[in-house]
Amino acid sequence: MNERKEIQTYLKDAVITVEEALKSVLPADWDVPQRLRDSMMYSLEAGGKRIRPALVLAAAEAVNGDEQASAQALSVACAVECIHTYSLVHDDLPALDNDDYRRGKLTNHKVYGEAMAILAGDALLTHAFHLIPQTVSSGVPAQTALAISSDLAMLAGARGMVGGQVADVLGEQGITSISELEYIHLHKTSDLIVFAVTSGARVGGASEQQLELLRQYGRNVGLAFQIQDDILDLIGDEAKLGKKTNSDVAQQKVTYPYLLGIEESKAEVERLTQEAKAAVLDARLAEPLRLLEIADYLLNREY
């Protein structure tokens, strides 16, 4: 057996795998208007931690310890990144967050114009549902692919990510309680992480009981991830984040650190991480270690 990779190396390798796969899901000779493909690729290739697709791959492998499962799940990993990317492109639009930069690069509409950014977002969203059925050709049963597609529509839609985004838009300045903030984060951030973990686990052959425990993992990891983001945004290093820190405070955005203070927010991230790990252990997966390590990695990240 080879020496075991550090989690940092494992995640870096996942980024390479996913970014390579993303290139081939929008082939260069694709029969679409060139500018549309350019606009889609611009945001897909804009980097980021690729933590959602990494979770798809890790969860697929975790269930039965079968590395083949993570290869089978690769088009689902690309699908989740298409969804995440479209949500950023639309969120950055002038009518929403009106951001000019993301990760140190101009946002999509600043490069391609608003019309193209709206349409490229629509195309990326739709493309996710094109990628999921492709798992069937790598041996995933049609029922499983359909369940994954149905989960994505639920978790990315009105009752999921879009609902969270709407609550965020409607709540701006008016949020005063942790429970309102939690609603936003659970939908805007956790739901897609829940999808990433459970879709991978479905490819890996997880039982309903395992899926339910992995949903708990995803909810907690997602919430911890978002609170950690808010903490880093407040105290972080401008260069590392690639955007102005303290921007939420400048905009008077209500966050966990704003409502609870930094120390209590850090404690909450820690508590959520432990709960997430407990759920994974309860799920009795064949190889739970990567999912445990990823929860810890996200807790300890500095950007």
Per-residue tokens: 103: 């990760």
Encoded amino acid at 280, one letter: V
> Nearer Cβ to a copy of itself, position 9 or 177?
177
Closest CA to 10 of 53, 54, 66: 54
32/257 Cα distance (integer angstroms): 45
Residue 256: name the closest of 270, 242, 243 by CA.
270
Residues in the site for a copy of itself, rule: CB under 8 A? 26, 30-33, 35-37, 40, 86, 90, 93, 95-96, 113-116, 118-119, 121-123, 125-130, 132-133, 136, 142-143, 145-147, 149-150, 152-154, 156-159, 162-163, 165-167, 169-170
Instruction: Please say which residue, 60 or 89, places its beta carbon nearer to a copy of itself.
Output: 89
Cβ closer to a copy of itself: 33 or 65? 33
Q: What are phi and psi of 101, to 5 degrees?
A: -130, 150
CB of 130 to a copy of itself, least distance (A): 4
Closest separation in Å from C-beta 142 to a copy of itself = 4
- Which residue type does 35 have? R
Residue 69 contacts residue 60 (beta carbons within 8 Å): yes
- Which one, 127 or 185, has the nearer CB to a copy of itself? 127
189, 230, 240, 247 from 177: Cα distances, Å: 18, 16, 30, 20
**Closer Cβ to a copy of itself, 146 or 267, answer by number:** 146
CB of 131 to a copy of itself, least distance (A): 8
For the CB of residue 266, give the shortest distance to a copy of itself in the complex, in Å.
30
| Least distance between a copy of itself and beta carbon 276 (Å) | 24
Which of 43/228 has CB closer to a copy of itself? 43
| Integer-rounded Cα radius of gyration of the chain | 19
**Residue 39 Cβ vs a copy of itself, minimum distance, rounded to whole Å:** 9
Q: Pick the closest to residue 137 from 66, 76, 202, 207 (CA basis).
A: 76
Q: Which is nearer to a copy of itself, 91 or 229 (CB)?
A: 91
Q: Tokens for 76?
A: 């689902």
Give least dist CB 152 to a copy of itself, A.
7
- Considering the complex, state which of residue 76 and residue 269 has its C-beta at the smaller distance from a copy of itself: 76
Which residue type does 8 have? Q
Task: Select from 212, 142, 145, 92 the least CA-distant residue to 153.
Answer: 145
The answer to whether 221 and 193 have CB atoms below 8 angstroms apart is: yes
Cβ proximity to a copy of itself, 104 vs 157, nearer residue: 157
Q: Whole-number minimum distance, CB 145 to a copy of itself, in Å?
A: 6
The residue with tokens 């739970």 is 288
Least distance in angstroms from the C-beta of 83 to a copy of itself: 9
Report the DSSP pairing between strands 105-106 and 101-102.
antiparallel
**Extended beta strands in 66-163, E state:** 101-102, 105-106
